Every structure is written in structure tokens, then in C-alpha cells.
Amino acid sequence: MFHQRAGLPSLAICSHAARSIGVIVETQLARSDSGRWYHGQAPISLVGGLVLLVDLWDKACESGRPANHPIYREQWQDINRCLRNLESIESDWYAAGKFLCVYTSNELAIARTLANYSS
């Protein structure tokens, strides 16, 4: 498949925001008393993780290296942060578990990429 980089700064802007979202939600969950969470945390963790995966895919296609190459370790840490946020909410809110299925469904290329990555 031919991949051409768009050259627009929008993906970089969105990936920086997604990285911040992961840190903010993680901090909120860690600081909350009695495991309190907010409904908005799950959807933004889902979208943040997906944006980071698209950014990783774009960088991997541009460089010609596989997505599990060691140079992408920081990006994988950010993606895994979003996944951990969803996992921590899942026990209290069923929909967060369904959001996790977006990442882990065997039919998705995302799942194959995650399966090929060993942390």
C-alpha cells in the first residue's frame, strides 16, 4: 500500500493533545477519592488512544520501520496509558470495556499491531 504523508500539522497537534489527555485522565483517576471517575474520561481515552495509534502508524509508514521498533517505545507508552485508563474504568462502567474491544478485536489492524508489540 502506498502511503503519502499529508504534510499537515493537524496530526501532530492532535497527537500532542491526545498525549495530554492520557496524562490528565490518568492523574484524575489516581487522585480521585473512592475510585470516582467521570463519564467523559472513557470516550476521550478511547479517542486519544486512537489518535496516538494513527500517529504511530503514520510515523512507521514514513520511516519504513515496523510499529514495534524500539524507537517508538514512547508512543507505545502513551497508547498503553490510554488503555490502562479504560481498564481502570471498565469495572464500574460497562461501556469502557466495549471501548477496549475497539483496540482488541481480532478483525482490526490495531489488534494485530498491539499483538506484535512486546513491551
What mean pLDDT is reported for the chain?
78
What span, in angstroms and rounded, lies between the C-alpha atoms of 110 and 101?
Answer: 11
In this prediction, what percent of the chain has a pLDDT beyond 70?
76
Give, as one character, the DSSP assignment of residue 33.
G
> Residue 36: left (phi > 0), alpha (psi -120 to 50), or beta?
beta
Helices 73-90 and 10-31, packing angle to 10 deg: 50
Mean pLDDT: which of 32-36, 48-52, 95-99, 115-119 is highest?
48-52
How confident is the model over 39-69, as pLDDT tens digits? Answer: 778 888 888 988 998 888 888 888 888 777 8
Check whether 107 has a pLDDT greater than 70. no
pLDDT over threshold 90, residue 10: no
CB atoms within 10 A of CB 104: 12
Q: What is the pTM of this model?
A: 0.77
